[in-house]
Structure 1
Amino acid sequence: MTERPYTDEDLRAEAARQHATLTEDPDFVGVGERMEDAWVGSVETEEDGSGRTWAELLADDGDWDGPYEEAQGKIHDLINGAANVSEWAVNLGADGLAPYDGQLTLDGANKPFARIHFAFAPDTPEAMRLALVEGVGVEIARH
């Protein structure tokens, strides 16, 4: 018996529960406030200085149905509709793993029907990561 009345699994479960709660019904105004100074990735380039924040790209004219608020609403909806991966995220962090950019998407007729995400220990060589992702993809393609 341990010195504490709870297990590591209890800690992970509570962390996952709280993590999920943070994404439930996000504050609409807060979403807009956090957008202001955030860079818009598709127009952010260092070479030509075209980088823009959401506030620069979509000037907030104070109108509640302007382009800024439209984007804010779409971001809010994406957060609300996001899959609850809290338990997965907490367990990755607790195990010292980090999500990998590479993923496998299995396409259906008009949209993906499955997606496989990978996570690795930080010291895993890139060649090994890539080999695993590609290897899984090859095996799936065989079937």
Structure 2
Amino acid sequence: MTDRPYTDDDLRAEATRQLGLRRQPGFFSRGIGNEMKEQIIPSTAVDLEPETGEPLEMGRTWGQLGDGDFGRVLHELAALMNGAADVSEWAVNLGADGLEPLGEQLTAHTQGGPWFRLHFAVRPDMPDDMRRSLVEGVALEIAKHFPSA
């Protein structure tokens, strides 16, 4: 028993709820809209830092768009985010377990679009060759169950 009046699971549940609040109607204009005005539109950056993709030189910001364009951006952004899977609990649990997502993912495509997509998360100290083996091993195992093209 700890001296805390809450558990680790309580903390994870609240963190999940807080992340989920970003999905509520109106958040885009109140929160995201205000926050993103100073952010550089990535495609307008003159040069990007190779490892992080962060702009090295200023480009055009979202706030420099006209009101009509910025309003359309917020509408399109809301549609993307509202249609996104709520992975808040997954994300909170990854962080609590000390795991970080890999950039690699496996996707199986059909004519109608992706059939499934697998994302991986590992400990930060996992060696690169082991990370690569994990992803490749899972891909090879799944490929055994697909008909030859």
1:35 equivalenced with 2:36 (yes/no):
yes
Q: Which is bigger in relative contact order (C-alpha 8 A, separation at least 6)?
A: 1
Q: 1:16 and 1:54 mapped to 2: Cα distance?
A: 28
1:55 equivalenced with 2:63 (yes/no):
yes
Could you tell me which of 113, 116, 121 is aligned with 1:114? Answer: 116
Q: 2:109 and 2:131 mapped to 1: Cα distance?
A: 22
Provide the secondary structure at the position in 2 that maps to 1:20: helix
Could you tell me which of 123, 129, 132 is aligned with 2:131? Answer: 129
Provide the secondary structure at the position in 1 that maps to 2:116: strand
The one-letter code sitting in structure 1 at the alignment partner of 2:37 is E
Provide the secondary structure at the position in 2 that maps to 1:23: coil
- Structure 2, unpaired ranges of 5+: 49-55
Query: Residue 79 of structure 1 corresponds to which residue in structure 2?
Result: 81
How high is the TM-score relative to the length of structure 1? 0.79
Give the 3 Å change call, closer, same or farther, for CA 111–70 of structure 1 in structure 2: same
Cα contact 2:104–2:135 (8 A) shared by 1: yes
Give the 3 Å change call, closer, same or farther, for CA 103–32 of structure 1 in structure 2: same
Total equivalences in the alignment: 136
Give the 3 Å change call, closer, same or farther, for CA 130–75 of structure 1 in structure 2: same
Q: 1:50 and 1:14 mapped to 2: Cα distance?
A: 37
Q: 1:127 and 1:70 mapped to 2: Cα distance?
A: 44
RMSD, aligned CA: 2.4
1:24 equivalenced with 2:24 (yes/no):
yes
Q: Could you tell which deviates more after superposition, 26-35 or 39-48?
A: 39-48
Query: Residue 51 of structure 2 corresponds to which residue in structure 1?
Result: none
How far did 1:45 drift? 4.3
The one-letter code sitting in structure 1 at the alignment partner of 2:131 is R
Q: Aligned ranges for residues 89-108 of structure 1 at < 5 Å?
A: 89-108=91-110
Q: Could you tell which deviates more after superposition, 24-33 or 108-117?
A: 24-33
- Structure 1, unpaired ranges of 5+: none
Cα contact 1:19–1:86 (8 A) shared by 2: yes
Identity of aligned residues (%): 46
Give the 3 Å change call, closer, same or farther, for CA 26–84 of structure 1 in structure 2: farther
How far did 1:36 drift? 1.6
Give the 3 Å change call, closer, same or farther, for CA 142–42 of structure 1 in structure 2: farther
